[in-house]
Chains A and B, each alone.
Chain A
């Protein structure tokens, strides 16, 4: 590889960096005033209805043309799989945009929780992405443009639900993979996702987010004792478009019980505001670094010379 192309690459990345940090500030300023798309669609996941049949996983695999699974979708031994010394259950990855996990709280029947992108109203992945690969659509989906993704994996770190996954097997093209709510193929035409359609238990209810909230609160009210009084995702992290009803406290089904109601962007807003300032002093800063380094070098050379001198003197003695 020639030095020129490397330099070009570096120049381009600095430009992109500058552009996106400015973009980031715009986003940061918008946070707080944006209250989501009112007619955006969502899904209400009712954990009291799910029986862990994994049909939703199979439907997703088929329609998204994902790689063949290691085990059949009716093999329930996957619920016993754990990672990181038993601390982590299955998570979504490049070959599975949704997975169902089983929780067995003491004194209760097993509870199954389907995991996928929750399509936040103000997504952390979107705010963290330096090349603006993510978009929140007015229909409610969080989609991404794989052709601009540079594979930095900021979104993977930013996502509070651990959803975006890096594609280790693809050398080119889109490298981050996650559920996109079938935005192009279904959602835009008002169609429900394949997982919702297949679910035998109607554990997944598709509708306008605002209607789902009404439905969720009504279920809680009309079935006393069946649910805890909380729709997870109604307010959490600024609101999500996939929300959950649970019969037991959410931490017992693997959710962070107190993620806060602020979207992630609010936490980094102040920091992002500083970035343009940094950019302004960038040249001075680097000149400073350069000079420092140079000085250091000079110093070392000097020392080296002295040592040599000493050696020579020693030799003479």
Chain B
């Protein structure tokens, strides 16, 4: 292999890497708008770019779906070498209505042991986000991420001013 051949090979490899990473970057959203509870809380703009820089590896949040090896004991037994899936967004597996009749009958018929009791979207977000925030010293209060709408204020009765101790008879 002469110098020219080596150079060509190197350039091809480089080109492949560039194409590959562009494809990944194109797939990867910079920002994700989470707007499943907009009646009570403003939508949350999730800075996916910033968060993915913080995370060591996609599998921290995406389990085995991005093709990076999962580290979760329960997933690894089947998904150690799983390929990237077509859809990797949280909502593709963690549904927003985990307790609807359709989901419950799906759950009743689930054959894969570790797919039983799959968290819904809200659970998955909160466990992942607050779990990590607790470890990393990120914000964990409800309103640190979720600004309330006026309806939210009414819902929580934010203006109630009775005295403590009156609540609840004995």
Contacts and interface: CB of A to CB of B under 8 A. Distances in A.
Contacts of A200: 122-123, 126, 142
B99 A71 contact: no
A83 B164 CA distance: 12
A99 interface: yes
A27 interface: no
Contact of A90 (B99, B120, B167): B167
A69 B160 contact: yes
A222 B168 contact: no
Contacts of A88: 170
A208 B156 contact: no
Interface of B (DSSP majority class):
loop
Contact of B108 (A62, A72, A77, A208): A208
A197 B155 contact: no
Contacts of A53: 142
Contact of A78 (B98, B122, B155, B164): B164
A306 B46 CA distance: 98
A159 to B, nearest CB: 15
Residue of B126, B156, B164 with most chain A CB atoms under a 10 A cut-off: B156
A168 B114 CA distance: 49
Contact of B156 (A58, A70, A199, A218): A58
A253 interface: no
Interface residues of B, number: 36
A190 B142 contact: no
B89 to A, nearest CB: 19
Contact of A72 (B104, B122, B158, B168): B158
A201 B117 contact: no
A208 B107 CA distance: 10
A73 B122 CA distance: 20
Contacts of B142: 53, 74, 200
Contacts of A214: 116
Interface string A60-90: 0110000011111111011011011000101
A214 B120 CA distance: 18
A165 B167 CA distance: 13
Contacts of B167: 69-71, 78, 81, 90, 95-96
Which 9 A-B residue pairings sit nearest by Cβ, starting from the closest? A70-B162, A202-B123, A192-B99, A190-B101, A206-B99, A73-B156, A215-B117, A90-B168, A72-B160
Interface of A: 49, 51, 53, 55, 58-59, 61-62, 68-75, 77-78, 80-81, 83-84, 88, 90-96, 99, 165, 168, 190-192, 196-197, 199-202, 205-208, 211, 214-215, 218-219, 222
